């Protein structure tokens, strides 16, 4: 076996093993944090070094190529930046912080295996590894005064996740019955001939349900606002960002199984996109809790991502992947501020951000960049991502869908700018203008996230062309 193909995964496995051993003893939180950060950094560097590698492992069930390695690099960079600003983990009890770090690593390991899996059983196992790690992370939040809403959020997350996984597994059985194989490369030509038939469409739709859940696509979205609000800020930052990129990558593989001239699947994706955009944006308008607002906006952004999927073309998949990458860094930018502002790891309302510009000009600027980017205001990644998604959908003939997406973008601007108004135009009465101190790691992570968000918006052609080449090489 070519061991260098598996180098990022080996680095992450070594980190998981080290973290597991440290959970058995009484490792200090600083030692645990340092070990996990070193493992994440080694994983990211290994993924960068493995970018030019191409090959298959484990009887061709695991593929290493530009497509998978590109996603691993993005997830590794995002995870390292998240550890930089969330190192203290304020919302987690001290006696379970070691286990919390361990499950963070296993969740990342599952996502890493997911994007390289090209065999359905292997892919499903990787999906479950990441999912069950996240199910355990949500209820680990410390809850003062005996509150149990974080446990309720975890139960809802678990139930919806298990249901979507069951539907996906049922779809895998249908596809195996239709094609006689679970390898995507072998499924592709066979499924193209039957994808226009009802049984082929149903099998593919059930297969997509697992990714619909990860992306929070309507109607698989019901867990999203409660989990975002109930989980700790660090957990929500992870759930809202990293799984979305992996889900976009896997969904692109699945959508490529449909025939290019298919009508049923694009029609279904169009309906789900419209429902996700309207439901997410209209419900986010009335939210006061910032994390809950970002949860509903995440549903709307899942609808935007589907604009690239409805084209069933490599360029549409590439723009969707570009938008998913930009969304990861936009969300981490927002959660950096929420994590720093939150008292003792609690939730942050819009009012808690009043006067932030006078308490911490740097955090105010970082939050403004995040809100502008999520709203789709130039020159940030959100604008170019939406523009390219709308262009790809328009070129494929989905004019009405493009108009609806543009209307929803205008709706979203309102609640994002509400946060910016609170930061700069409202007076802070709760803390009497007390200044906020930020650690060096938070400042470094904030500057890096702002720079990446801006760079993706100014120079999108580099990432999009790379994603396009990766999509063409994925098969």
- Residue 209's closest CA among 132, 124, 280? 124
**Coil, strand, or helix at residue 160?**
helix
Mean pLDDT of the chain: 88
What is the Cβ-side half-sphere exposure of residue 313, based on CA atoms within 13 angstroms? 14
Classify 51 as helix, strand or coil: coil
- Is the per-residue pLDDT at 367 higher than 80? yes
pLDDT beyond 60 at 21: yes
Q: Is residue 146 over pLDDT 70?
A: no
Tens of pLDDT, residues 312-322: 888 899 999 99
**Can you give the C-alpha Rg of the chain in angstroms?**
21
Is pLDDT above 80 for 337?
A: yes
More confident residue, 438 or 267: 267
Q: What percent of the chain has pLDDT over 90?
A: 51
- Check whether 427 has a pLDDT greater than 80: no
CB of 442 closer than 8 Å to CB of 82: no
CB-based burial label for 279 (10 Å; 0-12, 13-18, 19+)? middle
Give bridge partners of residue 114 from the DSSP assignment.
none
Residue pLDDT, tens place only, 192-235: 777 677 888 888 889 999 899 989 999 888 899 999 988 888 88
Q: Is the pLDDT of residue 430 over 70?
A: no
Residue 201 confidence (pLDDT): 86
Contacts 24+ apart (CB under 8 A), 182-191: 182/119, 182/120, 182/121, 183/60, 183/61, 183/118, 183/119, 183/120, 184/118, 184/119, 184/120, 184/253, 184/257, 185/60, 185/118, 185/475, 187/120, 187/257, 188/256, 188/257, 188/475, 191/257, 191/258
Q: What is the pLDDT of residue 33?
A: 82
Q: What average pLDDT does range 395-419 have in this prediction?
A: 93
pLDDT tens digits for range 254-310: 888 887 777 888 999 999 999 999 999 999 999 988 999 999 999 999 999 999 999
**Is the CB of residue 375 less than 8 Å from the CB of residue 382?**
yes
**pLDDT tens digits, residue range 378-406?**
889 999 999 999 999 999 889 999 999 99
Residue 432 has pLDDT above 60, yes or no: no
pLDDT given for residue 433 in this prediction: 56
Which region among 27-36, 125-134, 144-153, 460-469 has the lowest average model confidence (pLDDT)?
A: 144-153
pLDDT band at 429 (very low <50, low <70, confident <90, very high): low
Higher pLDDT among residues 429 and 207, named by residue = 207
Q: At 52, phi and psi to the nearest 5? A: -80, -5
| pLDDT at 475 (0 to 100) | 61
The domains of the chain are located at 3-474
What is residue 368's predicted lDDT score, i.e. its pLDDT? 94
């Amino acid at each position: 076996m070519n061991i260098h193909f598996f180098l990022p995964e080996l680095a992450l496995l070594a980190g998981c093993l080290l973290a597991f051993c440290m959970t058995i003893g009484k490792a200090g939180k600083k030692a645990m944090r340092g070990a996990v950060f070193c493992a994440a950094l080694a994983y990211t560097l290994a993924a960068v070094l493995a970018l030019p590698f191409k090959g298959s492992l484990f009887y061709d069930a695991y593929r290493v190529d530009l497509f998978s390695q590109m996603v691993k690099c993005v997830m590794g960079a995002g995870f390292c930046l998240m550890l930089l600003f969330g190192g203290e983990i304020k919302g987690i009890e001290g006696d379970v912080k070691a286990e919390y770090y361990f499950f963070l690593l296993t969740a990342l390991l599952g996502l890493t295996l997911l994007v390289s899996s090209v065999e359905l059983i292997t892919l499903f196992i990787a999906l479950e590894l990441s999912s069950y790690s996240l199910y355990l992370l949500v209820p680990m939040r410390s809850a003062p005064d005996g509150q149990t809403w974080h446990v309720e959020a975890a139960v809802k997350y678990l139930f919806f996740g298990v249901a979507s996984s069951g539907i996906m597994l049922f779809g895998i059985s249908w596809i195996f019955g239709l094609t006689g194989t679970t390898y995507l490369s072998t499924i592709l030509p066979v499924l193209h001939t039957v994808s226009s038939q009802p049984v082929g469409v149903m099998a593919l739709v059930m297969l997509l349900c697992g990714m619909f859940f990860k992306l929070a696509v309507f109607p698989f979205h019901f867990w999203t606002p409660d989990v975002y609000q109930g989980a700790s800020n660090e957990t929500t930052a992870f759930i809202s960002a990293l799984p979305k990129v992996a889900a976009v990558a896997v969904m692109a593989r699945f959508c490529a199984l449909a025939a290019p001239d298919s009508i049923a699947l694009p029609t279904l994706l169009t309906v789900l996109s419209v429902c996700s955009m309207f439901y997410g944006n209209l419900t986010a308008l009335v939210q006061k809790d910032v994390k809950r607002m970002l949860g509903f906006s995440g549903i709307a952004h899942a609808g935007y991502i589907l604009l690239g999927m409805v084209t069933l073309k490599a360029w549409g998949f590439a723009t969707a992947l570009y938008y998913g990458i930009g969304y990861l860094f936009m969300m981490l930018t927002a959660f950096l501020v929420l994590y720093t502002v939150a008292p003792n790891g609690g939730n942050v309302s819009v009012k808690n951000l009043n006067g932030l510009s006078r308490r911490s000009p740097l955090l105010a600027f970082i939050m403004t960049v995040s809100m502008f980017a999520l709203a789709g205001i130039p020159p940030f990644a959100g604008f170019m991502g939406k523009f390219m998604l709308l262009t790809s959908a328009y070129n494929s003939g989905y004019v009405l869908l493009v108009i609806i997406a543009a209307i929803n973008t205008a709706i979203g601007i309102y609640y994002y700018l509400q946060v910016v108004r609170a930061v700069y135009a409202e007076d802070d009465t709760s803390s009497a203008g007390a200044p906020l101190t930020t650690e060096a790691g938070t400042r470094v992570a904030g500057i890096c996230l702002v720079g990446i968000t801006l760079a993706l918006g100014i120079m999108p052609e580099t990432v999009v062309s790379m994603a396009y080449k990766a999509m063409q090489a994925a098969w």
